[in-house]
């Protein structure tokens, strides 16, 4: 597996493949952007990329601009050696691991702002977060010029922001969204789960319990936003140590609240287990 540290090297790798002999389909490039601390959720993205693309690059970069001043940038888990081993085992050909200075050169003044969407859901609770995400993902996609980039549905609001950005900037990359990967007991996998104490880990199951309750009610025919949100609130009320940030039913493209669930509507929750903020969601069928 190749290790690449600069944007120029990544671009050269990508362009060399484009120029290589063979059909276009033989040279497709898949890209999996990550902040490292890889788990089975990331593994599923890398596997999906390897299954549908001839070449796969995985970026490992803890992006400072998507963390607020009092957030966990400094203590975000960094497990670089293990990440490289996992990415290689799942089919990555290249690891792109730039320094902060490489992606944010001194004096840089350019950011990508997806207006409107960036202030909703996690963007409302984490001002500036989606500006940081959109900026770094734009930099990565412009550098790697992949055919497809792979993201997890767990960060559903991020997906909405990035879909809008790719469409608005007319980037030539297709975004592929892969299903949430859960532990056997239902907890959605997240690099931040490592922050949870054993007690918090058990209590954090409230999020997936609320998601399941809403899915059950929709399966029984309930479509109203108010009763679905009320039912989820009752699940959270049974575990008062978990503090709700938001519980919402939104249009997945616009992140605007909806009154009635229709196929494709996003039901999303965010909540605090101690000092750890967790998110989970389901796309209603």
Comparing CB distances to ligand PAF, the nearer of 140 and 261 is 140
Site string for ligand PAF, 115-154 (x = CB under 6 A): ------------------x--xx-----------------
Stretch that binds ligand PAF, among 14-22, 32-40, 113-121, 242-250 (CB under 6 A): 32-40
Minimum distance, C-beta of residue 20 to ligand PAF, in the bound complex (Å): 27
What's the burial of 141, exposed, middle or buried (CB within 10 Å: 0-12/13-18/19+)? buried
Neighbour tally for 142: CB within 10 Å: 13
118 vs 158 by CB, closer to ligand PAF: 158
Tell me 282's DSSP state. E
Interface map 227-256 toward ligand PAF (x if CB under 6 A): ------------------------------
- By CB under 6 A, residue 34 contacts ligand PAF: yes
Name the residue nearer to ligand PAF (CB basis): 71 or 216: 71
User: Is 32 one of the binding residues for ligand PAF (CB under 6 A)?
Assistant: no
Our answer to whether residue 42 is catalytic in this structure is: yes
Number of neighbours of residue 169 by Cβ within 10 angstroms: 15
Catalytic residue among 39, 42, 55, 129: 42
Exposed (0-12), middle (13-18) or buried (19+): which is 94, by Cβ within 10 Å? buried
Residue nearer to ligand PAF on the CB measure, 166 or 228: 166
Minimum Å gap between C-beta 59 and ligand PAF is 7
Per CB under 6 A, does 280 bind ligand PAF?
A: no
Among 31-39, 212-220, 221-229, 266-274, which window interacts with ligand PAF (CB under 6 A)?
31-39
The enclosing H or E element of 137 equals helix 129-144
At CA 91, angle to CA 139 and CA 165, rounded to 5? 25
Question: Phi and psi of 89, rounded to 5°?
Answer: -65, -30
Bridge partners, 267 (sequence order):
249, 282
**Sheet architecture: strand order including 276-283:** 242-250, 266-273, 276-283
Which are the catalytic amino acids? 42
């Amino acid at each position: 597996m190749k290790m690449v540290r600069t944007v120029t090297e990544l671009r050269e790798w990508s362009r060399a493949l484009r120029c290589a002999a063979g059909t276009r389909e033989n040279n497709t490039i898949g890209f999996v952007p990550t902040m490292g601390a890889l788990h089975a959720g990331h593994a599923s993205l890398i596997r999906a990329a390897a299954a549908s693309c001839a070449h796969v690059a995985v970026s490992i970069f803890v992006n400072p601009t998507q963390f607020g001043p009092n957030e966990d940038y400094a203590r975000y888990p960094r497990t670089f050696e293990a990440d490289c081993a996992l990415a290689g085992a799942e089919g990555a050909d290249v690891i792109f691991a730039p320094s902060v200075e490489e992606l944010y050169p001194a004096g840089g003044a350019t950011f990508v702002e997806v207006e409107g969407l960036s202030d909703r859901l996690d963007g409302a609770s984490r001002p500036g977060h989606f500006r940081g995400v959109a900026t770094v993902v734009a930099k990565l996609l412009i550098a790697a010029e992949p055919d497809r980039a792979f993201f997890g549905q767990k960060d559903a609001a991020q997906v909405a922001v990035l879909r809008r950005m790719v469409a608005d900037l007319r980037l030539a990359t297709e975004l592929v969204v892969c299903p949430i990967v859960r532990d056997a007991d239902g907890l959605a996998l997240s690099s931040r789960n490592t922050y949870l104490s054993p007690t918090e880990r058990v209590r954090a199951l409230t999020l997936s319990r609320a998601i399941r309750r809403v899915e059950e009610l929709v399966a029984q025919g309930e479509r109203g936003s108010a009763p679905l949100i009320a039912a989820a609130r009752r699940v959270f009320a049974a575990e008062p140590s978990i503090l709700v940030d938001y519980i919402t039913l939104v249009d997945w493209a616009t992140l605007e609240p909806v009154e009635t669930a229709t196929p494709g509507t996003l039901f999303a929750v965010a909540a605090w287990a101690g000092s750890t903020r967790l998110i989970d969601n389901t796309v209603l069928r």
